[in-house]
Structure formats: C-alpha cells, structure tokens
C-alpha cells in the first residue's frame, strides 16, 4: 500500500504532465487564457472605479443645481419684492 506522500507526489506529477502536454500542444493558448482572464479582471476593476467617479460627479452636479435653483428663486423673490414696493410707492405719490 503506497504512502500518502507517494500518492501526493504521483498526483502532482500527473498534474505537471497535463500542464506540459497543454503547453507543448498549443503554447499560445495555454498562456493566453490566464492573460485574458487577468485583463478582464483589470478592466472590471477600472470600470467599477469609473462608475463610482461618475456617480460622485452626478451627486456634485445635483447638489450644485439645487443651490443654483435656490439662488435663482431667492433672487426672483427679492426682485418681485422690490418691484412691488416700487409700484406701491409710485401709487402713493400720485
């Protein structure tokens, strides 16, 4: 009965032989799949970072628009108040 270490060594040798056959059969294919997988992972991480940056930019633009709209409404109210006051004073002076 072979020992556990002997079986482990045999299993490792079998795996190494499979890898060698794959590399010898088509070296480009053996190398290209891990490289493509790595490229996809890098692109996914980059895409996630870009999406988060866009979300933050949209939040900033939304906040800026809220402030701008509030400023425009405030100015409109102030101008209407001044126009109303001017209209009332012109009617009193007549």
Domain locations along the chain: 4-93
- The reported pLDDT for the residue numbered 73 is 97
Tell me how far apart the alpha carbons of residues 34 and 28 are, in angstroms, rounded to a whole number. 11
Per-residue pLDDT of the chain (94 residues; tens, 9 = 90+): 457 777 888 888 888 888 888 777 877 777 777 778 888 899 999 999 999 999 999 999 999 999 999 999 999 999 999 999 998 888 877 6
**Rounded to 10 degrees, what is the CA torsion of 86, 92, 93, 94?**
110
Q: What share of the chain is helix, strand, coil (3-state, %, to 5)?
A: 95, 0, 5
Residue-wise pLDDT tens digits, 27-52: 777 777 777 888 889 999 999 999 99
- The residue to which tokens 């999406």 are assigned: 51
How many Cβ atoms are within 10 Å of 30's Cβ, its own excluded? 15
26 — phi, psi (to 5°)?
A: -150, 90
């Amino acid at each position: 009965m072979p020992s556990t270490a002997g079986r482990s060594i045999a299993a490792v040798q079998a795996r190494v032989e499979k890898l060698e056959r794959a590399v010898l059969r088509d070296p480009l294919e053996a190398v290209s799949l891990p490289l493509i997988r790595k490229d996809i992972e890098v692109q996914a991480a980059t895409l996630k970072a870009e999406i988060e940056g866009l979300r933050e930019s949209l939040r900033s633009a939304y906040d800026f628009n809220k402030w701008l709209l509030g400023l425009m409404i405030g100015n409109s109210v102030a101008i209407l108040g001044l126009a109303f006051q001017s209209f009332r004073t012109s009617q009193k002076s007549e």
